[in-house]
Structure 1
Amino acid sequence: MRRLFWLAMGITIGALIVRKISRAAEKLTPSGMAAGIGQGLSDLAESIGDFAADVRTAMSERETQLRESTGLDGSAGGVQRQSPPQQ
């Protein structure tokens, strides 16, 4: 019974090792490397797009803050347009 257990254990471990080695060898083939590089570039492009969206959002918020603080948004009471006097 023990021999059968250890035989099954050895076969299972051997199969797992062969599968892992096969996956690693597939990654080292030209097509595997191209797929890895393609996925990496796709992830990079997505990250750059997210960063650009964050920058645009922050820029818009900051512009709004600056317009409010300088009165360029029309809400400041200091400068008001008056119509010319009628004669």
Structure 2
Amino acid sequence: MRRLFWLAMGVTIGALVVRKLSKAVERLTPRSLATGFGAGLAELADAIRDFGDDVRDAMRDRETQLRESTGLDGSATE
């Protein structure tokens, strides 16, 4: 009987602690997520901008190569 009492007491205290911690985390999470979310979006925007810059540079290089190889750059002599 004594063990059952302490088991019930442990389960009850454990449940109360979990509820209190869950509420505390819930109160703090939206603020933390908002800050982390904004920083994540800024980082994503920077990565997309860098990718776009790299693609445009590669396009310009390839266009120059194609113009030179086809003679469309004005350097072809007849």
Using structure 2 for the length normalisation, give the TM-score.
0.63
Gaps of 5+ in 2: 1-24
Q: CA RMSD in A?
A: 1.7
1:52 matched to 2:52: yes
Counterpart in 1 of 2:64?
A: 64
How far is the alpha carbon of 1:66 from its aligned partner?
0.2
**RCO higher in structure (CA 8 A, sep ≥6):** 2
Identity %: 63
Number of positions where the alignment pairs a residue of Structure 1 with one of Structure 2: 53
User: 1:35 Cα deviation (Å)?
Assistant: 0.5
Q: Gaps (5+ residues) in structure 1?
A: 1-24, 79-87
Q: Which runs of 4+ in 1 moved over 2 A?
A: none
More helix by share: 2
**1:63: Cα distance to partner?**
0.2
Deviations 1:30-85 (A, max 9, x none): 1111001111111000000000000000000000000000000010113xxxxxxx
Match of 1:83 in 2: none
After superposition, the C-alpha distances for 1:1-25 in whole angstroms (9 at most, x for unaligned) are xxxxxxxxxxxxxxxxxxxxxxxx5
Query: Taking structure 1 as the reference length, what is the TM-score of the superposition?
Result: 0.56
Whether 1:31 aligns to 2:31 is: yes
